[in-house]
Every structure is written in structure tokens, then in C-alpha cells.
Structure 1
Amino acid sequence: MNYRRLGKTNLNVSEVSLGTWQVGGRWGSGFDDALAEKIINEAIDQGVNFIDTADVYEAGASEAAVGRVVKSRSEEIFVATKCGRQINPHINENYTPKALREFVEASLRNTGLECLDLIQLHCPPTEVYYRPEIFELFDRLKDEGKIKNLGISVEKIEEALKGIEFPNVTTVQIIFNIFRQRPAELFFQEAGKNDIGVIVRVPLASGLLTGKFTKNSTFEKDDHRFFNREGAGFDKGETFSGVPYEIGLDAVTKLREVFPDQENLATVALRWILDFSQVSCVIPGTSKTEYLTSNNAATEMKSLSNEQRHAVNEIYDSHIKKYVHHLW
């Protein structure tokens, strides 16, 4: 495993880290505590030292599993969680310092940790990024020893650029992958200027970029890849990166022609992301321990050639760009 500096947090984190949205099982299949703990422990065994969770992942079960494992290990493991998505209705007016404080304190109880290494606003409405009192709260929480760093998890480039104007924002979690390339433009440039840690989520486009799906693949009704393709539950960009499923499959077929010797495209897709120096870490999720090995193999894979990167960009431009580039 290789490690990179997470912006001005000054934490050195595994460049392939772990996202825990589905760590206790497949999306829509319920949460298995034993499986979650097995996956988290195996990730740490393979060198992962940064784990991303959220209070809404399985109603706190993910946070609790992360906390149990981290407290049982001797290694220094950095825990990031998120707050805000429990607000219902999820609108700007319901974001208050009081509500967010209560969420942070609940996450501390749920994880059993005394202090959170990173707390992230969890994709709040765009208007929240224009309210200084929301960001000032986290300075107080830091002074109280409840958090070490503040980050933001965003849907849109606009939100990322506005959020990093606040000096206490240290990281941005954003969707970035072969099918969502816009962050590599202005945002990466500004993140570098402001010493912002960049955490990449949805790196495999909800599994599309593994190359394992076909037109006949099916998903359970509680799986967001079934019900959220048009944004019925939350921002549709979280599902297949906002790419229409069949269009994505066609693009993956083209990617296989560029990488004919790669049985598992996931490793290639993660390597493509890691080839950007502005990226601090990528947080693929997994529901099986065996996927950890293929994901983590990206850290040892050599960088893509200029010819391969050009071919990937051509596929994006011809197949994907018109569906996603202007939306997020």
C-alpha cells in the first residue's frame, strides 16, 4: 500500500482506502455485523488506514462496526464520518448548528470514539455552502476536542468550489471516475491551491466500471441501482455516476478493447484515478473481502500510458460526456 497526504489535515492515508456504504452486505440486503467487521479487518490487514462511513449508512450500523474494529486494532486508523443527511425534509432551512452538533455527538456515541478524525457535511443543499454560521460550528467542535478536521461531501463542482472558501474546510469528497471527469478541470486546480485533501467516492460508478454487469443483470428493489437511476431517492449522480445504464455498458465494452489483458476493469479504473496527483485517496466500497485485493492492487499497478489515457478520454467524450458533464 502507498500513502498520500490528505491535504492540510496532514494525515498520511492509504491511497486506496475503504468506503463502508455497503460493507455489511449488498445494497438492499440488510446489514451483517460479522461480515462488516471481517471486511474492515481485512482492509486494515492489507494496509488501509482510512475508513469512511456515515451516520445514515444502515441507520448507524456501519458507524458502529467501524468503531468496534478500530478500537480493537493496535494500528493508527483514521475514521471519517458524515452528518446532515438525517435531516428530513432535507432542505436548507433545516440545517442548523444545533441539529448538526447533535448529529456529531451521536456519531461519537455510535462509534465509541472520543474524537472524530474527520467529520464531513453530507451532501447538503447548495444553499448551505453560503451560510458561515454552519461552518463556524465546527471550529467550536474542534476546540471542544470532538473533531479534528472538517470536510465536505459534495454533489456539484459549484459546491466544492464554494465550500473550500471556508478556511476550516480541509477535504472535499467528490465523485470522480472514468465516467465523471469534470472535477479534473477547475476543481482540482483550486484544491491544489488551497491544500485541500481530495477523497474520491463512487470510483467504480456503482460497479459499472468493474465490467461485471450486462444488460441482463438485475438488482434488488432496495438497491439504489434499481430505484434511483432517475433520482427517486437522492441525487441520481450517485447511481452509476448519473450515466444511463445501457450507455454505460456500451462504454465499458469499448474500455475492454483498450485493456484486453485486464480481466478485472476495477483495478484499471482505480489506477486511472490515482494517476491524478491531486487525489489524496479513493474509497471504493465492497461487500466481499475478495474485492479488497483487486481494489488494492491498483496501488501497485503502473500508471496508464499516454495512449491508454487518450483512448479512455475518447470514450468519455464520445459516449458519456453529454449525459453527465454539464450536470455536476
Structure 2
Amino acid sequence: MDYRRMGNSDIFLSEVSLGCWVMGGDYWGGADDNDSIGAIIEAVENGVNFIDTAEIYGRGRSEEIVGKALKGRRSKAVISSKVWKTHMRYDDVKKACEDSLRRMQTDYIDVYFIHYPNDEVDIGETMSAMLDLKKEGKIREIGLSNFSMTQMEEALKAGRYEVIQPCYSLLWRFIEEDIVPYCIENNIGIVAYSPIAQGILTGKFTKDWEFKTGDNRKSTPLFQPGLFEECLSVADALKPYAQRHGKTQGQVAINWVTSQPGITSAIVGARNAAQMKENMGAAGWRLSRQELAEIDKIGRRVTDRLPRYENFFSTRIID
């Protein structure tokens, strides 16, 4: 496992990390708490130190599971959580942080993200609360999630943050245009979520896939008719690379992300220990330059024609 410095901080993150959204049980079709705890333990006991959650995931349930799993293991983990966009006022940010600390049974959060921008609240007010939390030792570093280039620039005027968390994969590459160069120039870390495009790049889906009740992926852009089939063809094209390296298609997709300029870590979800173990198989090896270039071209079959959506979870086209 490779460990990479996050921005200018003294925090080093594993190149593959664990995303705990599914553990909230409210978006991906349910979750078993014991399985979720098993996934977290599998991660931290085998070199994955970055555990990412948020107050909105299951309305605190995910954070509670993280706290239970890391009891007696806190020193092995770099925990990140996020304050939701309805809690952007100064006092609300402070309260949200205290609530997250309580749920996770910890005295501090290593990385605290602003989950989404809120245009109704001045970013200066939100950042003021974040900076005070850092001074108080409640959080170690500040991060932004799902911010545009303009919003990132405005936030940086209000205070230093060390990392951003955008969506990035072979099938979703908008950050390459301006955000990645900006982060490299300003030495800001990038932890990419959904590197396997909500599971599409694992190759497990078929065009007639039946989604379980409560699985909301079917409403997101890449799962829409027509585009979904094109994405499946990209996943299928990863098979030769997987076979060559003795890996899975998903592991190839994750490795491609962690091999890109500016990327600190790839956040991958896991329902149980077995899925976590498979995700870890994306680390400790490298695709060749030629393979990376070939896979780049494969992904562009979709991304070069992809319209600019409002975000990864909205089918509203803004450009």
C-alpha cells in the first residue's frame, strides 16, 4: 500500500480508502451493521487508514458504525466526516461537528469536509467556523467536497483547506479541465469518490439489471438508458487488462484513478470485509504508461461526449 501526503498537512493517506456511505443504509439498498463493521476492521487492520463518512449518511448511522468499528483502533485510522449543506451557518457547523464527534466516539476528526456548497450562506462564515474548530483541536484539517473551481477559489480566500473530495473516474472526468491543475499548483490533496462509477466499472452489471428497492443509483446520469450501455462497454473493455495483471476490472479502474496526476487517494465503498479485501487489491501494483494511455482512450468513448451535468447525482444538464 502506498501512502501519500495530503496537501501541506502532516497527514498521509493510503492510496485506496474506504467510503462509508453504503453503511448508512439509506441510498444503496440497505446495509447490515455487522458486515459494515467487518469492512472497516478489514481496512484498518490491513493498511487502509483513510475512513470517509458524513453526518448525512443514514442521518448519523454511518458515523455511529465507524465509531463502533474503530473502538480500540482509533490510532490506525484517519477519519474524515462532512458537515451537510443545511448546516453552513457558524453555530450550525460547530454543533454538527460536536454531534459527529459524539457519534464516532472520538475527540477529534482528522479531516472535516464541507459536504456541498450553499450559495445562501457566505463561505466566509462557514470557513470561520471550520478554522475555529481547527484551533480548538476538534478537527485537524479542512476539506471541501463537490465544489466548483470558482467556489474553491472563494473558499481559499477565506482560509486554507488541504484537500478536496470530487467525483472522479474513467467515466467522470470533469475535474481534469481546471480543478486538478489548480490543486497541483496550490498543493491541495484530491481524494476521489466513486472511482468505479457506482459499481459500473466492476463489470457486474448487465443492460437489463434489476435494482433492489431503495437502490437509487438507477436515477443517476451514468445509469440512464443509452448512456448506461455505453458505460458497460467501457467496463467490458477493461477485461484484457484485468486478466493480464491477475486483477478484476474494478481493481484496474481504481488503479487507473490512483495513477492520475494530483490524486492522493481513491475512496471506494464496501458492504463487507470481502468487498474491502477486493478493493485493496487495487493497490501495490501499477499499470504501465502504455496501458494507462490505452485505458484513457477507452474511457473517452463516453466522457468526450458526456454533457455537463449539475453533479454526479443529477440528470439536469447545465452545459
Query: What is the TM-score with the length of structure 2 in the denominator?
Result: 0.87
1:225 matched to 2:208? The reply is no
1:106-145 equivalences under 5 Å are 106-125=99-118, 131-145=123-137
1:1-328 equivalences under 5 Å are 1-23=1-23, 27-73=27-73, 75-85=75-85, 87=86, 95-125=88-118, 131-154=123-146, 156-226=148-218, 228-229=219-220, 244-256=227-239, 261=244, 264-302=248-286, 304-324=287-307
Structure-2 separation of matches of 1:277 and 1:166: 26
Structure with the larger strand share? 2
Match of 2:70, SS state, is helix
1:208-238 deviations in Å (ceiling 9; x for gaps): 0111111121112311213x32xxxxxx5xx
Match of 1:72, SS state, is coil
Structure-2 separation of matches of 1:242 and 1:173: 28
Q: Evaluate the alpha carbon distance shift between residue 240 and residue 165 of structure 1 in structure 2; reply closer, same or farther with a 3 A threshold.
A: farther
Structure-1 separation of matches of 2:43 and 2:301: 36
Would you say the 8 A contact 1:123–1:155 is kept in 2? yes
Q: What stretches of structure 2 of length at least 5 have no aligned partner?
A: 312-319
Q: Which amino acid aligns with 1:103?
A: A
Structure-1 separation of matches of 2:156 and 2:203: 35
Would you say the 8 A contact 1:17–1:50 is kept in 2? yes
Q: Evaluate the alpha carbon distance shift between residue 156 and residue 324 of structure 1 in structure 2; reply closer, same or farther with a 3 A threshold.
A: farther
Q: What stretches of structure 1 of length at least 5 have no aligned partner?
A: 88-93, 230-235
Match of 2:112, SS state, is strand
Q: CA deviation at 1:17?
A: 1.1
Match of 2:65, SS state, is helix
Q: Which amino acid aligns with 1:98?
A: D
Match of 2:144, SS state, is strand
Structure-1 separation of matches of 2:308 and 2:238: 19
Structure-1 separation of matches of 2:183 and 2:192: 13
Structure-1 separation of matches of 2:307 and 2:160: 30
Would you say the 8 A contact 2:54–2:82 is kept in 1? yes
Q: CA deviation at 1:322?
A: 1.7
Would you say the 8 A contact 1:25–1:35 is kept in 2? no
Q: Evaluate the alpha carbon distance shift between residue 300 and residue 26 of structure 1 in structure 2; reply closer, same or farther with a 3 A threshold.
A: farther
Structure-2 separation of matches of 1:291 and 1:243: 29
Match of 1:214, SS state, is coil
Of all paired residues, the percent bearing the same amino acid is 28
Structure-2 separation of matches of 1:26 and 1:114: 27
CA-based RMSD: 2.6
Q: CA deviation at 1:171?
A: 0.9
Q: Which amino acid aligns with 1:190?
A: Y
Which position in structure 1 is the counterpart of 2:316?
none
Would you say the 8 A contact 1:180–1:241 is kept in 2? no
Q: CA deviation at 1:136?
A: 1.2
Q: Which amino acid aligns with 1:213?
A: F
Aligned length: 310
Would you say the 8 A contact 2:23–2:58 is kept in 1? no
Q: Evaluate the alpha carbon distance shift between residue 123 and residue 74 of structure 1 in structure 2; reply closer, same or farther with a 3 A threshold.
A: closer
